[in-house]
Structure 1
């Protein structure tokens, strides 16, 4: 299965949205989210990094053609 631009976009959007939600929950200072602040920040950072790293994967070149 080859990588393509559509697959990269499908990975990027959810990871950025979930990562942003976890980062927002980690910065919240009140309520139940404050107890898991480190976990939320870690998960948010990992998700954001995974989505951005998926964009950096090289795309395969065109298949070789026989003359």
Structure 2
């Protein structure tokens, strides 16, 4: 399956939203859930990094046609 701009957007939006939610949860944690602060911050950073990294993947070139000369 080839990569395209729509697929990259489908990956980017949920990972950024979930990553931001985990980062927010990690910064606002109080009480007994404070023990999970590191986990929330790590998951948030990994998700946001993965979403942004997916944008950097190169897109394949157009398929060769019959009129293209062979190298």
Q: TM-score, normalised by structure 2?
A: 0.89
Q: Which runs of 5+ in 1 are unaligned?
A: none
Larger-gyration structure (1/2): 2
Unaligned runs of at least 5 residues, structure 2: none
**Aligned equivalents of 1:5, 1:32: Cα separation in 2:** 42
Segments ≥4 residues shifted beyond 4 Å: none
Distance apart, 1:45 and its partner CA: 0.2
Aligned to 2:19: 19
Question: Aligned pairs, how many?
Answer: 67
Equivalent residue, structure 2, for 1:36: 36
